[in-house]
Amino acid sequence: MPDSIFNSKRKQPVGRALPDNSNRRVEPALRKTMCSDAGRRGVRLWAAALAAYAFLYLPLLIVIVYSFNDSRLNAEWVGFTWHWYDVLLHDKDMLAAAGNSLFIALVSSLIATILGTMAGIAMHRYKMKALTFMVMTPVAMPEILLGVSLLLFFIQILNLTLGMVSIILAHITFSIGFVAIVVRTSLSGMDESLFEAARDCGASPWETFRHITFPLILPSVVAGGLMAFTLSIDDFVITFFTAGVGVSTLPLRIYSMIKIAVTPEVNAVSTLLMLLTLTIIVLASRIAPNVLQWKT
């Protein structure tokens, strides 16, 4: 998508406003000292940053590598094998859990995207404090609080048997916030004059939405939906409290496997799950590059 005027409204840098850092002209002598200075500092900075990246990726790489390890124990490399993936694909409980996870993620992310988009638009246009509070708090609070309060609510008030429905409702509740933030951020970066122009031309709110707003926010809506999908697939804490018996999801299966009988099958399912969420995140970042940068 071309760099349209709607994305040009950048936030001002702290201090003096400068159009672009990379074009500054510097005196050659000064540049030399700057570069060597920056060079020394740069190396140390690079080293520290590289260490941080290594710290971030090494554990995951180990998980992936050991999923191919021909040994029950995750202790040392014995040999290459596809055995654990084979076990995984024949594990009925795991496949059932995977199916549940996908179904729950699809349904909850769809509903959360719709509700979240509406919330994001309402938060931006009408500045409703109550809505903002209700949307943002589930995102900010520790997940265990939401899980536990939903458990109480489902059992005591709704007398709902915990299962698929309770999980989906719980997932929607925490996903709405993420989608709303994404949509609101994207809207706040847009040029208001567009909407005013549409109104001046006599468009009703619905027409404005359909022809102007929606196409503009579509990338963030899609990205938000993808994020909601990922959040749902990956959720552990809230699902743990609202799942009941009979419906298992992938994270719950992984948890019980970790606690009870750790085998490299866990590595295999982890690798596949990582692949899935990786694909989704990369997709989301292509569709809406600003989504993941927390530009709130």
Partner 1 sequence: MSEDRTRLSPAARLTKWLVSGPPLAFLLLFFVAPSLIMVLASFRYPGEFGGLAPLIAADPGILHGFTLETYRFFFSDLIYTEIFAKSFLVALATTLICLVMAYPLALLIARSPKKSRDFMVLLVTLPFASNFLIRIYAWMILLGPQAALSLLVNGLLGVFGMAPVNLLFSPFAVLVAMVYVHLPFMVLPLYTNLEKHDPALLDAARDLGANAWQRFWRVTFPLSLPGIFSGSILVFIPVLGMFAIPDILGGTGDMLIGNLIKEQFLGTRDWPFGSTLSIMLTITVLACVWLAARLGGRRRRYA
Partner 2 sequence: MRGLLLFLLLLAGNALAEDVLHLYNWNNYISEETVARFEAQCACRVVQDYYSDNEEMLAKLAAGATGYDIIVPTGNAMESLIRQKALRPLDKSRLPNLKNINPAYLNTAFDPGNQFSVPYAYTLTLIGYNVEKMHKLELPTDTWAVIFEPSYLEKVKGRITVLDSQRELMAAALKYLGYSANDTDEAHWKQARDLIIRAKPYWAAFNASSYIKELTVGNIWLVHGYSNDIFQANLDAQKADRKFSIASSIPKQGAVLSLDSMVLHKSGPRPDLALRFINYMLDGSNSAELTNLIGSGNPNLDALRYIKLEIAQNPAIFPDAQHQANLEMLRDLDRNQRRILSRMWTEIKLR
Query: Considering only residues 258-277, where is the footprint of partner 1 by CB under 8 A?
Result: 258-259, 262, 266-267, 270, 273-274, 277
Asked whether position 95 contacts partner 2 by CB under 8 A, the answer is no
Structure tokens at 268: 């295999």
Distance between CA atoms of 1 and 219, rounded to whole angstroms? 10
Q: How far is the CB of 13 from partner 2 (least distance, A)?
A: 49
Return all residues near 226 (Cβ < 8 A) that are at least 6 apart: 109, 280, 281, 283, 284, 287
Site membership for partner 2, residue 66 (CB under 8 A): no
- Should residue 201 be labelled a site residue for partner 1 when binding is judged by CB under 8 A? no
Out of 162, 228, 280, 288, the residue judged to bind partner 2 by CB under 8 A:
162
Minimum distance from residue 92 beta carbon to partner 1 (Å): 21
CA atoms within 13 A on the CB side of 148: 5
* Nearest distance, CB of residue 79 and partner 1, angstroms: 17
Interaction mask 26-65, partner 2, x per CB under 8 A: ----------------------------------------
Q: Contact region for partner 2 (CB under 8 A) — 24-32, 171-179, 187-195, 255-263? A: 255-263
Burial of 110 (0-12, 13-18, 19+ CB in 10 A): middle
User: What angle, rounded to 10 degrees, do the helices at 92-126 and 250-260 form?
Assistant: 130
Closest by CA position to 34, among listed 50, 49, 25, 46: 25
# of chain residues touching partner 1 (CB under 8 A): 104
Site string (44-83) toward partner 1, x via CB under 8 A: -xx-xx--xx-xxxxxx-xx--x------xxxx-------
Greatest distance between any 2 Cα atoms in the chain: 77
- Range 208-237, binding partner 1 (CB under 8 A): 230, 233-234, 236-237
CA distances from 14 to 11, 17, 275 (A): 9, 7, 39
Per-residue DSSP letter, 156 = I
Residue 164, interface with partner 2 (CB under 8 A)? no
